[in-house]
Structure 1
């Protein structure tokens, strides 16, 4: 896996991801403390609203940002968004009203909605070999999991000597460092898509998604991921402190156990994908997550909770890590940014539903009811995935083009009935019948 880091461009991008993640982790801690400083006992409501604003920004702006990105130099686009994020964070220590927090959070997440899919689309252009790309996806997954453990520890250490506003300085440094690393990376020249109307480019990723069977399955699978993730992220603190009567250190340990499960899966995924299809690995991960959530009412002690959280974390990584491979296989190089943006928006639309659902049901009907509701959502999603994503899912598909004239360049190159790696594009707007 580490051999992938020998690629100097990926090494720059991976380092950029790490410093940006550490900065984001520091900001998460600092934002919680800022909310308490401004709102006191209502800090939870402030953070919940900020989280909703984040999801709305992701869902609505990611496709638009992808269309803008197609019209701009890739390196300049990524560097500019990193610097915008740094600039927004630099204002947070000076706010004194809750509404100012909301405005800045929207601006921050709007920039992230553009940066993240564009960054994801760069990686397969840098690492053409599928094995190297799989290793890269696992390394990026590991980085995200480690950040969830390392950033709170770093924040706690810093807070012993400085006030929480200084944590925002660390975030600014992280985003500026990310910008410098991206600026000094030798990014490959991006293939340009055919020029088209701006709003057609905004919807292009969604159109490719909904017309491709494996992507339709992936889209529904994200509902299972969001249901399991919401149970962990929203209700862990209530499970630990209210049901089990334990302290804050146990909350941190529970989250760490989830992360350890995810990291273990990330280590194993490159080898698993050498032997098993992406569909098999991802559905197996979804089954683990749904089963883990369904078992939450059976928790009788902290050891049981940690075991379930490790299982859910393991399944979470199995379903999330191969996503880049699926998108890479389902779109032309010029269209990847749009499809990554569609994935980003659609997945966060699922989280926008499951986050409040997990909290509301837990508060009104209890944690067992919340867990069982989310498990039902996950089970229905999984059953739908099995119908939408065919077991036989070849990349090369035989098809014809009865709507094209015989002298069309595509038919002159391939013949009337022909086979090639099939993806949705201007010449292939519908999936061949019987192919999936």
Structure 2
């Protein structure tokens, strides 16, 4: 199915519009937060890094539990309530005067987002036919990276002209519009998806049991386990790349903030191009092969970044990293949706998000330590080695899993014939 075919589905179209609008508001608010912490509160580098950590860390712990409730609760009220609660929380950024006030609000936003993300994934899987999942996930990634390209410049212009509080107000409005769009359409679960029944006398045990079921499903499904680890490796690399690229541009390339902006934007450009190309390649290439290629591509891009300290090479590497990241994220998300039973998508997708965010946080924290110890360029080369090793190991792992499954199928077939 093409992008146009997928967007003809009423639920998918409105969910996508809501995503675009909400992401635009999020980019404005996060940019404004960094501006306020940096220039108004005169935050230290650690405090500025803390903005990202407090925004991502809560979802690591809340995510797996949130997925259990997403698989139980009705989808539409969950999505709308999440948007409206986040609108109220974003409003609390307007009077923020201390760094800890900002941290608490960002952590609360992260906790609520832990419910919205999996519910959105369940909604897409329930309303988009299997042949359209690749296009649907490509559209969601395009929305994210499109905002990454245009968001910083737009946020900078609005913050400079009208102040950070205007950015916060737009974020509040974006959540309300998102809730209105989602609330205006009927959203249902797939007919085969039955919410887990919990005993009223032992609900905590039932929640724990359902959460463990989701984790066990990932560990015992070779392809899903691989793509979860692949996404984690990709986001770990992005976590290292993000904070160090500014230092690399400043100290190694002796460039300006303008060059840094171009390099950052090129990652988004690469991902936008990648989503188009990957969607077409998916028609004749399996999801796991695309993910393996994406890991190798990220390794090649980051290696070029560290090995060739030249401006043109840096721009090419940034595009390659974005393109390769699309080759991981889009087919990985599609494979998760296709292979996971409808009644477990909330738990599996939330656990996947938690693992991915944890990997990105580890990359964010380790990047500075490793850069101090080995230098920025060596960190890029180490990340390239990790991505290449994951690609090689993933290929061996998937081949072994398929061979074992084929052998098991042969044994079962012989047993049936023996009867």
TM over 0.5: yes
Alignment pair present for 1:278 and 2:280: no
Q: 2:334 aligns with which of 325, 331, 356?
A: 325
Q: Which residue of 1 aligns with 2:390?
A: 381
Q: Which residue of 2 aligns with 1:157?
A: 157
Q: 1:203 aligns with which of 212, 215, 219?
A: 212
Q: Which residue of 2 aligns with 1:85?
A: 86
Contact 2:84 2:176 in 1 (8 A): yes
Contact 1:22 1:151 in 2 (8 A): yes
For residues 263-305 of structure 1, the C-alpha deviation after alignment (integer angstroms, 9 at most, x for no partner) is 1110112210101111111111110101111222323321110
For residues 144-180 of structure 1, the C-alpha deviation after alignment (integer angstroms, 9 at most, x for no partner) is 1100012122223323431111100011111111111
Alignment: residue pair count: 402
Taking structure 1 as reference, are residues 270 and 222 closer, same or farther at Cα in structure 2, changes over 3 Å only? closer
Q: Which residue of 1 aligns with 2:139?
A: 139
Query: How much does 1:85 deviate?
Result: 1.0
Query: How much does 1:374 deviate?
Result: 1.6
Q: 1:259 aligns with which of 256, 268, 271?
A: 268
What's the secondary structure of 1:20's corresponding residue? helix
Q: Partners of 1:34 and 1:306 in 2: how far apart?
A: 29
Query: How much does 1:350 deviate?
Result: 1.4
Q: Partners of 2:377 and 2:181 in 1: how far apart?
A: 46
Query: How much does 1:37 deviate?
Result: 4.4
Q: Partners of 2:260 and 2:60 in 1: how far apart?
A: 29
What is the root-mean-square deviation of aligned Cα atoms in Å? 2.3
Q: 2:251 aligns with which of 238, 242, 252?
A: 242
Q: Partners of 1:49 and 1:41 in 2: how far apart?
A: 10
Pairs within 5 Å for 1:9-408: 9-42=11-44, 44-128=45-129, 130-190=130-190, 191-196=193-198, 197-390=206-399
Q: Partners of 1:164 and 1:369 in 2: how far apart?
A: 37
Query: How much does 1:118 deviate?
Result: 1.5
Query: How much does 1:198 deviate?
Result: 1.2
Q: Partners of 1:144 and 1:417 in 2: how far apart?
A: 50
Contact 1:59 1:344 in 2 (8 A): yes
Contact 1:282 1:318 in 2 (8 A): yes
What's the secondary structure of 2:162's corresponding residue? coil
Q: Partners of 1:283 and 1:380 in 2: how far apart?
A: 11
Q: Partners of 2:251 and 2:243 in 1: how far apart?
A: 13
Contact 1:216 1:389 in 2 (8 A): no
Query: How much does 1:234 deviate?
Result: 1.7
Q: Which residue of 2 aligns with 1:432?
A: none
For residues 306-351 of structure 1, the C-alpha deviation after alignment (integer angstroms, 9 at most, x for no partner) is 0111111110000111122211232211111111111111112211
Query: How much does 1:56 deviate?
Result: 2.1
Q: Partners of 2:401 and 2:234 in 1: how far apart?
A: 23
Q: Partners of 2:180 and 2:213 in 1: how far apart?
A: 31
Contact 1:220 1:385 in 2 (8 A): no
Contact 1:131 1:270 in 2 (8 A): no
Comparing 275-284 with 347-356, greater Cα deviation is found at 347-356
Contact 2:89 2:109 in 1 (8 A): yes
Q: Which residue of 2 aligns with 1:428?
A: none
Q: Which residue of 1 aligns with 2:203?
A: none
Instruction: Give the structure with the higher percent helix.
Output: 2
Contact 1:13 1:185 in 2 (8 A): no
Query: How much does 1:115 deviate?
Result: 0.8
Contact 1:234 1:358 in 2 (8 A): yes
User: Which segments of 5 or more consecutive residues in structure 2 lack a partner in the other structure?
Assistant: 199-205
What's the secondary structure of 2:72's corresponding residue? coil
User: Which segments of 5 or more consecutive residues in structure 1 lack a partner in the other structure?
Assistant: 403-415, 419-436
Query: How much does 1:399 deviate?
Result: 5.9
Query: How much does 1:243 deviate?
Result: 1.4
Q: Partners of 2:395 and 2:68 in 1: how far apart?
A: 32
Contact 2:263 2:318 in 1 (8 A): yes
What's the secondary structure of 1:322's corresponding residue? helix
Contact 2:304 2:314 in 1 (8 A): no
Contact 1:21 1:144 in 2 (8 A): yes
Contact 1:39 1:46 in 2 (8 A): no
Contact 1:88 1:108 in 2 (8 A): yes
